[in-house]
Amino acid sequence: MINGKKLIVVMPAYNAEQTLMQTYNDLPHEIVDEIILVDDFSKDHTIEVARRLGIKTIIRHNQNLGYGGNQKTCYTAALERGADIVVMLHPDYQYAPNLCGAIAWMIASAEYDMVLASRILGRGALKGGMPIWKYIANRFLTAFENMLVDVKLSEYHTGYRAFTRQVLETLPLHENSDDFVFDNQMIAQAVAFGFNLGEISCPTRYMPEASSINFRRSVKYGFGVLATSMAYRLHKWGIAKSAMFEKDGRKLVIGTSNERGQIISPSEADAVREFAPN
């Protein structure tokens, strides 16, 4: 609990066996009520590591649904488990897990609805090993988005963030991509729906074991970011409406887990569940 609110950390995992233990161990477990790991059909032993660590809620997709598809499962499960605050943390140890409490407190303060852990503020991403081409792309895309989206952020591309329950219940997340641009679309949605966004400085680590998308996928992501920003601006101007920003867009539906999957390996507490795509 943090300020009387249930805190759940969700980890969208893919081939994270080498870094999951470090990420898990560095979390402030004294304030984290529950951890949910969603494995997106990894080819390694991520599930086995999660079991050894004692993570009680483990969900395994029976085929790869993509990074955005993974998060949709993460947030649905967190809402079903009664989360008041949800922190999304990659289990690749690229971000600092021990900052989970600081990020969550910004939400618990009721000053912010969504908090982003920025790699640009503070020590800087380059000192953490971010490749120079990724840094330049980050700065260009962020500048473009700051011109078109009604908020000024140091970066839009971090994978470490926190939300209130209301944000996850309100945003039409099923209108978003199942790919990496999901993160970016979620920020634009939060702004469109009037939620308050905050940032916190977070050091980053780039190492061989950490996950990273290649140049081709990065280019695809970049074009997706540009398209999201344009879609937001055109929607705000009333020129081209987008379901991503409509109140009646498709939202997460609590209570659909059993309809989408089956228990495949019971554990002492909860279960490992295999989910089929929608």
CA distances (Å), origin 56, targets 10, 143, 212: 12, 41, 27
The pTM (predicted TM-score) of the whole model is: 0.90
Distance of CA 274 to the CA centre of its chain: 20
Given a contact cutoff of 8 angstroms between Cβ atoms, the answer to whether 104 and 88 are in contact is: no
Residue 52, number of CB atoms within 10 A of its CB = 12
* Residue for token pair 């209301």: 166
The set of residues, in sequence order, having a beta carbon less than 8 Å from that of 230 and lying 6+ positions away, is 148
pLDDT, one tens digit for every residue, the chain (278 residues):
899 999 999 999 999 999 999 999 999 999 999 999 999 999 999 999 999 999 989 999 888 999 999 999 999 999 999 999 999 999 999 999 999 999 999 999 999 999 999 988 876 666 667 778 778 888 899 898 999 998 999 999 899 999 999 999 999 999 999 999 999 999 999 999 999 999 999 888 776 655 566 678 888 988 999 999 999 999 999 999 999 999 999 999 887 654 443 333 434 334 555 555 55
> Nearest-CA neighbor of 112 among 146, 56, 153?
153
Given a contact cutoff of 8 angstroms between Cβ atoms, the answer to whether 244 and 172 are in contact is: yes
Please give the Cα distance from 142 to 83 (Å, whole number). 30
Give SS3 for 24.
helix
CA distances (Å), origin 143, targets 69, 85, 147: 27, 29, 6
Please give the Cα distance from 244 to 188 (Å, whole number). 9
Q: Are strands 85-88 and 161-164 parallel, antiparallel or unpaired?
A: antiparallel
Domains of the chain by residue range: 7-275
* Residue for token pair 């997709």: 61
CATH code: domain 7-275 is 3.90.550.10
Residue 259 has what pLDDT?
43
